[in-house]
Amino acid sequence: MPLPIEIHLYNTLSRALEPLRPAEDARLRMYTCGLTVYDYGHIGNYRTFVAVDILQRFLESEGYHLETVLNLTDIDDKMIDRAQRAGRSVREHAEIYARAFAQDMEFLGLRRPDHLVRATDFIPDMIAWIERLVAAGHAYASQGSVYFRVSSFPAYGRLSGKPLEELQSGARVDSDQYEKEQARDFVLWKAHKPGEPAWPSPWGPGRPGWHIECSVMSMKLLGESFDLHAGGADLIFPHHENEIAQSEAVTGRTFVRHWLHVEFLLVNGEKMSKSLGNYYTLRDLAAQGFHASGIRYLLASVPYRRQLNFTLDGLRQAEAAVERLRAFGDRLRRATLENADNVELQAAIEAAGLRFRGSLAENLNTAGALAAIFDLLRAGNQALDQNAMGLGHREAIERLLARFDSIFGIIETDDRRRMEAYGNELHPVEATLADEAVEQLLARRAAARLERNYALADQLRTQLETAGIVVEDTRDGQVRWRRK
């Protein structure tokens, strides 16, 4: 066990790096907002989950005991919409993509959380919590729905830095929301609409709003006040802001001490997202021959608070970097060594170890940690070239590589076995691009060609093909497409 080291993480709430100090001895309780299982996760989603995975592995290697929760959102507007379009019940639809998520986790080697939970298993708890909010005057029922009264919680806006006055307060601006007291109030319980799943409640049949789901699940499993809450940067507002309001309005206690947000993964400067259609799933990439280790490397190569621009070329480079690490490991193992004095190498190994750990301890600087490992690789290769490595050096290098790999999970990964996570299903169960998304990508491809940006045009075409869309350029300059 290494000597204790102070770990600093950026806290979105205080907008500063803060030492991580668990409330109870070394036990850290952490909740991560998981996937909405209406479709496959894309690698933007997995950027967030890989960052969380690396953080959790690092904390454990530093002696912390973690209790972790990851949720799957299996009921919300998108779930209902997509299930209806696919002609399935919401439950069946969620089942398909929850299973796909489990395959993705296995493929990427993500640690299993202590609790992998689904929102629909906690509906009675959500109703009970909403009742407490209503009883305390923080929420009100209106036409079978229940809303949170934002004006009753003066701290609203602290996380996102949006002052309360700035949020629209004018009532009845949106015809769809006419039954709210104020436009900024948000829904806790949605009255039943025909064709939607519903649960009985004191306000009539309906279903929970998305935000209340995470508040209730996290507090039920981790307590009313816990250490860490993570998610992508898109969740700061309104999702996490609303979670704080719903939770603290009842408990009067700090809901979460440390808020961690992972910046976006971008494609051509835009956020990778399902609605823009500019995304890759893990199985898309696996079907193209990319490996779990390369994907993990790429996702970890940029510190989590900086945006990461995804390109297939970047992924190829990441795969090459993984190969260099593996080749170095093999070379070390095979080398015939005797005891050798090499003060310089000894110093380089120690420096790499310090830099590796110090980088991760300083707001999970994964890029710094990787750079330390490549420093080690260079020093090691040079010593091997000069026949100047001793047995003790090798042992120390292998120890550091093993520690690196226990956190990053890319060297000793059997990539071929990882593919087995998908069985025979490397082809999507259904086309993942909606018609509108295909049209949008085609329009962008046309624009790229007009600007003579053929690299981008080709990339967009590959993206479409990966999603099973065949694009044909006809002789009269028209573009036709069909699904494979």
Binding site for ligand AMP (CB under 6 A): 33, 35-36, 44-45, 47-48, 73, 231-232, 234-235, 262, 264-265, 271-273
Nearer to Zn ion, 214 or 345 (CB): 214
Mark the segment that binds Zn ion (CB under 5 A) among 29-37, 40-48, 352-360, 454-462.
29-37
Quote the least distance from Cβ 101 to ligand AMP, whole Å: 10
228 binds, among ligand AMP, Zn ion, none (CB under 5 to 8 A by kind): none
232 binds, among ligand AMP, Zn ion, none (CB under 5 to 8 A by kind): ligand AMP
Nearer to ligand AMP, 251 or 273 (CB): 273
Nearer to ligand AMP, 46 or 189 (CB): 46
Nearer to ligand AMP, 240 or 418 (CB): 240
258 binds, among ligand AMP, Zn ion, none (CB under 5 to 8 A by kind): none
264 binds, among Zn ion, ligand AMP, none (CB under 5 to 8 A by kind): ligand AMP
Q: Does 361 bind Zn ion (CB under 5 A)?
A: no
428 binds, among Zn ion, ligand AMP, none (CB under 5 to 8 A by kind): none
Give the footprint of Zn ion on residues 327-346 (CB under 5 A): none
Q: Binding residues for Zn ion, how many (CB under 5 A)? A: 2
Quote the least distance from Cβ 112 to ligand AMP, whole Å: 17
Nearer to Zn ion, 214 or 332 (CB): 214
- Counting other chains too, the contacts that 49-53 makes at CB distance below 8 Å and 24 or more residues apart are 49/105, 49/108, 49/110, 50/108, 50/110, 50/296, 50/299, 50/300, 51/230, 51/262, 51/299, 51/300, 51/304, 51/364, 51/366, 52/230, 52/262, 53/108, 53/110, 53/111, 53/409
Distance of CA 352 to the CA centre of its chain: 28
48 binds, among ligand AMP, Zn ion, none (CB under 5 to 8 A by kind): ligand AMP
Closest residue by Cα to residue 392 from 431, 338, 446, 352 = 338
Q: Which of 33, 66, 187, 212 binds Zn ion (CB under 5 A)?
A: 33
Q: Does 30 bind Zn ion (CB under 5 A)?
A: no
Mark the segment that binds Zn ion (CB under 5 A) among 130-138, 166-174, 213-221, 460-468.
213-221
77 binds, among ligand AMP, Zn ion, none (CB under 5 to 8 A by kind): none
Quote the least distance from Cβ 206 to ligand AMP, whole Å: 21
Residues 6+ apart with CB under 8 A from 392: 339
Quote the least distance from Cβ 83 to ligand AMP, whole Å: 15
Nearer to ligand AMP, 208 or 232 (CB): 232
Quote the least distance from Cβ 207 to ligand AMP, whole Å: 17
Quote the least distance from Cβ 214 to ligand AMP, whole Å: 10
Give the footprint of Zn ion on residues 101-140 (CB under 5 A): none
29 binds, among Zn ion, ligand AMP, none (CB under 5 to 8 A by kind): none
211 binds, among Zn ion, ligand AMP, none (CB under 5 to 8 A by kind): none
214 binds, among ligand AMP, Zn ion, none (CB under 5 to 8 A by kind): Zn ion
Q: Does 214 bind Zn ion (CB under 5 A)?
A: yes
Quote the least distance from Cβ 39 to Zn ion, whole Å: 17
Quote the least distance from Cβ 51 to ligand AMP, whole Å: 9
Residues that bind Zn ion (CB under 5 A): 33, 214
